[in-house]
């Protein structure tokens, strides 16, 4: 059964004028291209095929909004770090990103990182950009099934060190369901309590 029974796609946003009304709460989901972001969203929301990876690098990047419940939204941000999409990302990131950041409803961010790659400079830059307090930023170390348990735990400790308390972090596997409940619980909590700004 879906964890968020009322879930539906709202719209793709390509310009600041297109954002949904700034009320309630929204959680942004970000990650490098190929980190496992779409798979993570689909697993978290228990809806296969809801979030799709753009198969066309260089295409205009959009913010994809989903409604999880009344006044509860998830926004799927464009993947970053892929050489071919950098120009497109740069072109849209500025005004769109700035508009998102200023929204009262922008409560928290989920950052998806490939466990084998670890938290890198671009990921840290994005966390910095989001400017949310540590309890409202959470990192999923995705595809954890790709590493033996000992190595996955070592990657978790390494990520905790790199993040220096600026975000919480956990192991996650969309394919095996590892960490799914932990991540869902946090998402639900954020959706209910928001960022504490109001």
88 or 195, CB closer to ligand GDP? Answer: 88
Residue among 11, 47, 117, 146 that touches ligand GDP (CB under 6 A): 146
d(CA 130, CA 137) in angstroms, rounded, equals 9
Q: How far is CA 139 from CA 8, 22, 55, 87, 124, in A?
A: 24, 25, 24, 25, 11
Distance in Å, CB of 154 to ligand GDP, minimum: 18
Instruction: Answer yes or no whether residue 92 interacts with ligand GDP by CB under 6 A.
Output: no
The two tokens of residue 35 are 């980190």
Give the angle subtended at the CA of 117 by the CAs of 112 and 122, to the nearest 5°: 65
Angle at 104 between CA 99 and CA 109, to 5 degrees: 75
CB nearer to ligand GDP: give 35 or 99.
Answer: 35
Shortest reach from residue 23's CB to ligand GDP, in Å = 28
Nearer of residues 97 and 179 to ligand GDP, judged by Cβ: 179
Residue 174 engages ligand GDP in binding (rule: CB under 6 A)? yes
Q: Which of 73, 136, 138, 143 binds ligand GDP (CB under 6 A)?
A: 143
> Which of 4, 25, 36, 61 is close enough to bind ligand GDP by CB under 6 A?
36
Q: How far apart are CA 18 and CA 64, in angstroms?
A: 11
| Residue pair 137/108 in contact by the 8 Å Cβ criterion | yes
Residues near ligand GDP, by CB under 6 A: 31, 33-39, 53, 79, 142-143, 145-146, 173-175
């Amino acid at each position: 059964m879906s964890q968020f029974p009322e879930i539906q796609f709202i719209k793709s946003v390509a310009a600041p004028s297109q954002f949904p009304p700034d009320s309630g709460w929204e959680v942004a989901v970000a990650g490098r291209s190929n980190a496992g972001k779409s798979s993570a969203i689909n697993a978290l929301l228990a809806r296969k095929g809801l979030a799709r990876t753009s198969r066309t690098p260089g295409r205009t990047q959009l913010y994809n909004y989903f409604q999880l419940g009344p006044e509860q939204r998830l926004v799927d941000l464009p993947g970053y770090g892929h050489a071919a999409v950098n120009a497109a990302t740069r072109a849209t990131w500025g005004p769109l990103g700035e508009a998102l950041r200023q929204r009262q409803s922008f409560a928290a961010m989920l950052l998806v990182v490939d466990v084998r790659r670890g938290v890198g400079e671009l990921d840290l830059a994005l966390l910095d950009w989001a400017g949310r307090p540590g309890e409202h930023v959470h990192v999923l170390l995705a595809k954890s099934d790709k590493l033996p348990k000992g190595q996955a735990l070592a990657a978790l400790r390494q990520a905790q060190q790199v993040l220096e308390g600026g975000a919480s972090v956990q192991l996650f596997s969309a394919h095996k369901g590892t960490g799914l409940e932990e991540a869902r619980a946090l998402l639900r909590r954020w959706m209910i309590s928001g960022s504490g700004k109001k």
